[in-house]
Structure 1
Amino acid sequence: MKGKKPYILLSLLLCISVILYGCSTGSSGSSDDSGKVTLEWWSHDNPSFVAANKKFIADYEKENPNIKIKLQIFPYDAMMQKLKAAYAGKNPPDLAQVFGSWVPEYAKNGLLSEVSPVDSEWVKDNFYEPSLGSYSIGDKVFGIPHEYNLENGGILAHPEMFEKANVEYPENWEQLLDVAQKLTIRDGDKIKVKGFEFVSSDNVMFTLFSLILQQNGTYLTEDGHLNLSSPEAITAMTELKKFVTDYKITDLLGFGETESQDMFFKKQAAMVIRGPWTIGVGRDNYKTDDFDYIPMPSFTDNPPYFAAESGWGEIVAGQSKHQQEAWDFVKYMAESDQAKFFNLTTLSVPANKSVAEDPSFLEEAPLMKASLDVLQYGQFIGEGIDTDYLKKQLNDNFQLIATEKLSVEEGLKKTEEAVNKMMDKQK
């Protein structure tokens, strides 16, 4: 689920904070003479997240009268900055709801409480590996995710556009291209309605990686560096370029200005590959349910393999005086009943396997079927990758490739070199 991305300077800022302040035993939580413990919990202001979190607090405090949970809500960007400042100032909240890619630098700098060995085994057994990727370092687990964050596997589709064009939902790659061309509406050389849109801040990268994996290729070297010089990477990027230059089912208009899901709900695109969190965008922002979310065909005869980041979940500060109480609350939210409520309320993909495999979840959220059906084919995107930086490099170079200012090979090589240089600096 988006609306939410980390900043490139996180690693540097955290390192500075550790040097300046070190690790402390301070805490924002408190306890009074009666033994009642107050936990401070920070989260962002997504309305559905806030609704789920407030229900958790009310139910948990009722069952645990000795616990008081103080929820502080911040706009996404403000929360990111305040959290960094709070850790630097030796006064972080007891627990925080964070996006997975924020976690590694906090953990590596010794700022987080570790999930107990017993509980970490439970987490590893019961949660999908891609959702845990950023919350784990070696055998240690530093948080529990709510969300299996994926941008692949599903397509937003306008059924009335398919009906008007007299075409069916595609079941393989050839059909996808054929249907997308028939759905594309032009006014001269200008595209009025895109037949298929993947050009967005996230999906150039995620679609490229999925096409590489579906060819049995890899985008990483054995030592974890980016590898975009392989035949599979070149084939994948060449196909994405053709969407603009040959098939002419999309263009670059609006890239970086209008998110693809907004184009879809404004009926400027017939199909858009985007994560299932956009189902909620249609429901909440555009007040419509007149759309479908259909499976994205594989590029090859292989299953629809894809890469995923770790999504939203909870961490506990190593400086908290009430780490056990904080973890007890986090584990409560991670149990099946609460996890199911969170995922249904936020329309996020369950990180907890038992929720994703529960038939009643699909009965209550039928549009999630395309996503649930492919969870077994996902892999963690990779340790140490600054995905914001990688997306920026890929997006910039894809525009040069699609406008034929760079060859496919040149654009991929520029991306590979820039990202690997950044990775080596961070190490």
Structure 2
Amino acid sequence: MGLSKRNRWRTLVTASVVFSLVVMATGIALANITLWMHANPTFVSGTEKLISNFEKENPQIKVELVVFPYPDLAKKVLTGILTGDVPDVYQGWGMWFIPYIRTGKVSPVPSWVTTAEELEEKFQPSSLGAYYYKGKYYGISAETNFWRGGLHVNLDILEQAGLTIPETWAEIISSGKKLTKRDSDGYIIRAGLTWINQDNSNSQFLAGIMQNGGNYWDEQGYVKLNTPEAVKSLSFYRDLVLKHEITSLTIDMSAEVHEVYFKRLAAMLIRPGWVVSIIKAQYPDLRSAFVALPSIGPEPPYYPAETGWGYQVPAAASHKEEAWKFVKFATLDKGASRAWLTEAFLLPALKSLEDDPELLEAEKLVKVAFSQLKYGRYVGDMGSRERFTQIIFNISQEVFTQKTVVKDAVAKMEKEINEMLKEYR
């Protein structure tokens, strides 16, 4: 005799409950989602812990982590979005996301994850800019970018010279001169200050414009760099190289600037707080302090924020719902976010973590950076981030090598960047 309709329903419900219990007990995944990210060791270890905690709370979802070298990830994701060969979710740099969104092939944040109003209420304003497009958010930030960074000081070198940690630019320059070492031919073999790379050439220059009371965007969304404030900013950084001679182009171009600092080829370094996580993990004998970088002008130390690392879900993802569950956990759960941030000494996107005692204690080596969050301003739509920053870097190098004067350089930057931006507007 067949089962009645009621008994069949009871059987189905019972089977469903039993299956759910088996899944919870055995860890059998109902969905396997793939997460792509870059290969920074502290980011990877933090994300592995994040995945482990997520899977404990969501045993029906298994996350497969795929890691790519940093230079390859942005192109890999864009190619995947265009061809449909995509992961379920990727962790990427916020400024990469603007061209991804414009393809129309990125999933907007579902309302069950969070609403636009909730994001704007809960997150640092500078952490949202690159995710917003035509009234919707297409991703959620995991951190707040501190692009300008702070000052790392080698305490052994400083103390051997009988100096204390500098607090003003006058003190940084004075100490830098005393800490710079030259060989018998007069060439710098240890710089007082290392900072010149593509990121710093942009972040310091744009920050300097704001710190001198200027704005580098016009009302139409194009740059205005042929200004007195831009001249003051670029002149200041030119003088570190040519007038004060505390920065060596030869040394700075020999490796990434933080690696120059690790090798003790420079006494001081300008870079964000994540450098501290590398020092802690790989250079435990390097006694280093991280302090605030002063303003170069009369205004507070404003800085351009690039909408840092975060998550997006492609429209073609195989498991969008499960992917968004992971993103929600990674970005909106305070405990999960705190644990990930502390691994790489990053700054929170969630406002509720800005004064969080547990996070501040865990990141006490970069605690000063938290006081700088209020000065961050979204950098703006750079069109192509790589081309934008490359233009400023290349022309800055012309100034530092005395091939171009500052006034001509800022005019050239403005012209070349705006020509590039026309392709994206």
TM bin (shorter chain): 0.7 to 0.9
- Tell me what 1:87 maps to: 81
- Tell me what 1:205 maps to: 202
- Measure, in 1, the Cα distance between the counterparts of 2:71 and 2:405: 36
5 Å-filtered alignment, 1:10-89, equals 36-89=30-83
Change (3 A) 1:68 1:290: same
**Which of residues 124, 128, 143 is equivalent to 1:128?**
124
Sequence identity percentage: 30
- Tell me what 2:371 maps to: 373
5 Å-filtered alignment, 1:85-234, equals 85-117=79-111, 118-187=114-183, 188-234=185-231
5 Å-filtered alignment, 1:404-423, equals 404-423=402-421
Change (3 A) 1:256 1:426: farther
Larger-gyration structure (1/2):
2
Q: Deviations over 1:311-332 (max 9, x none)?
A: 2111111123532322122111
Partner secondary structure for residue 422 of structure 2: helix
Change (3 A) 1:288 1:93: same
> Deviation at 1:424?
0.5
- Measure, in 1, the Cα distance between the counterparts of 2:346 and 2:61: 28
More displaced stretch, 41-50 vs 339-348? 41-50
Change (3 A) 1:201 1:62: same
Change (3 A) 1:398 1:89: closer
Change (3 A) 1:351 1:200: same
- Measure, in 1, the Cα distance between the counterparts of 2:200 and 2:220: 25
- Measure, in 2, the Cα distance between the counterparts of 1:289 and 1:251: 22
**Which of residues 347, 355, 358 is equivalent to 1:357?**
355
More displaced stretch, 142-151 vs 169-178? 169-178
> Deviation at 1:201?
2.2
CA contact (8 A) 2:46 2:343 kept: yes
What stretches of structure 1 of length at least 5 have no aligned partner? 1-33
Counterpart of 2:294, as a letter, is: P
> Deviation at 1:367?
1.6
- Measure, in 2, the Cα distance between the counterparts of 1:312 and 1:63: 23
- Measure, in 1, the Cα distance between the counterparts of 2:246 and 2:195: 10
**Which of residues 379, 390, 393 is equivalent to 1:392?**
390
Counterpart of 1:380, as a letter, is: Y
> Deviation at 1:138?
4.2
CA contact (8 A) 1:295 1:370 kept: yes
- Measure, in 1, the Cα distance between the counterparts of 2:397 and 2:101: 36
More displaced stretch, 276-285 vs 34-43? 34-43
- Tell me what 2:8 maps to: none
Q: Deviations over 1:332-372 (max 9, x none)?
A: 11111000000111222222222232122121121212211
- Tell me what 2:345 maps to: 347
Change (3 A) 1:251 1:420: same
Change (3 A) 1:368 1:222: same
CA contact (8 A) 2:146 2:305 kept: yes
- Tell me what 2:13 maps to: none
Counterpart of 1:370, as a letter, is: V
What stretches of structure 2 of length at least 5 have no aligned partner? 1-27
More displaced stretch, 407-416 vs 295-304? 295-304
- Measure, in 1, the Cα distance between the counterparts of 2:75 and 2:422: 25
> Deviation at 1:255?
4.1
Counterpart of 1:179, as a letter, is: S
- Measure, in 2, the Cα distance between the counterparts of 1:76 and 1:299: 31
**Which of residues 421, 424, 427 is equivalent to 2:422?**
424
